[in-house]
């Protein structure tokens, strides 16, 4: 088995041989836990990188491109991913707690059961993302766009969701909302409206049953 690399050796490998060389070495190591905490990866094109089970706590990934990256069980606690692009990433059960996710793009991402507690995700994009079972308590989600996202069982308790876009989201009875929730669907709104209107047949029957004037 090859000798385990230090975080700086991993960084050198990535800079010299790119994502392909990085992923090849990870396969050789059996995708064991790796420590990349605190590294500056800002602005790097990391498309398709495999960072599963990686410790990126406190790392700098501002403006980085991580399209279709594998981030399963990765730990990004307190990392900075401002304006990072994470299109279609596979990140179930990853930890983004306390991260700076301002304007980060998670379009189409698999974020099932991920932790995002206390993260700053203002103006972030979660279009068509899978957030089922995710924990987003006390997040800052002002102006975030969740259009078409799936949120079954997602916990937004105490999250600031002012002006968040929740068009077409899918959620369940176990979804817990912050200070905003999606409007009722047209079908639900129509049902509520129908229940609020008096039944015309009942009204006519009531009139027919009233005593005649003598």
Give me the mean pLDDT over the 83-103 stretch: 99
pLDDT in tens, 161-174: 999 999 999 999 99
Q: Give the lowest-confidence range in 2-6, 32-36, 191-195.
A: 191-195
Q: Kindly tell me if the per-residue pLDDT of 209 is higher than 60.
A: no
* pLDDT range class, residue 199, cuts 50, 70, 90: low
Give me the mean pLDDT over the 130-157 stretch: 98
Q: Domain limits of the chain?
A: 38-197
Phi, psi of 45 (to 5 degrees): -90, 105
Give me the mean pLDDT over the 91-117 stretch: 99
pLDDT in tens, 32-76: 899 999 999 999 999 999 999 999 999 999 999 999 999 999 999
Confidence (pLDDT) at 187: 46
Give me the mean pLDDT over the 125-131 stretch: 99
DSSP string spanning 75-116? Answer: B-TT-B-TT-B-TT-B-TT-B-TT-B-TT-B-TT-B-TT-B-
* pLDDT range class, residue 189, cuts 50, 70, 90: very low
Q: Kindly tell me if the per-residue pLDDT of 152 is higher than 50.
A: yes
Q: Please report, for residues 29, 38, 48, the alpha-carbon distance to residue 55 in angstroms, rounded to integers and kept in the order given.
A: 16, 9, 17
* pLDDT range class, residue 192, cuts 50, 70, 90: very low
Output the CA torsion sign for 176, 97, 63, 15.
negative
* pLDDT range class, residue 191, cuts 50, 70, 90: very low
Q: Kindly tell me if the per-residue pLDDT of 183 is higher than 60.
A: yes
- Topology of domain 38-197, CATH: Pectate Lyase C-like (2.160.20)
Confidence (pLDDT) at 200: 52
- At 194, list the tokens: 């129908």
* pLDDT range class, residue 78, cuts 50, 70, 90: very high
């Amino acid at each position: 088995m090859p000798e385990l690399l230090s975080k700086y050796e991993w960084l050198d490998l990535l800079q010299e041989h790119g994502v392909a060389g990085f992923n090849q070495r990870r396969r050789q190591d059996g995708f064991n836990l790796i420590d990349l905490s605190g590294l500056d990866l800002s602005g790097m094109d990391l498309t398709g990188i495999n960072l599963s089970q990686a410790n990126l706590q406190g790392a700098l990934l501002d403006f980085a491109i991580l399209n279709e990256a594998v981030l399963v069980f990765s730990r990004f606690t307190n990392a900075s991913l401002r304006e990072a692009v994470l299109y279609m990433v596979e990140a179930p059960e990853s930890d983004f707690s306390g991260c700076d996710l301002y304007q980060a793009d998670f379009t189409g991402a698999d974020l099932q059961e991920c932790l995002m507690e206390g993260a700053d995700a203002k103006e972030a994009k979660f279009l068509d993302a899978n957030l089922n079972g995710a924990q987003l308590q006390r997040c800052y989600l002002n102006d975030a766009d969740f259009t078409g996202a799936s949120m079954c069982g997602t916990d937004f308790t105490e999250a600031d969701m002012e002006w968040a876009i929740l068009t077409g989201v899918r959620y369940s009875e176990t979804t817990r909302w912050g200070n905003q929730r999606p409007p009722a669907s047209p079908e639900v709104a129509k049902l509520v409206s129908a229940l609020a209107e008096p039944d015309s047949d009942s009204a006519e029957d009531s009139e027919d049953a009233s005593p005649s004037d003598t």
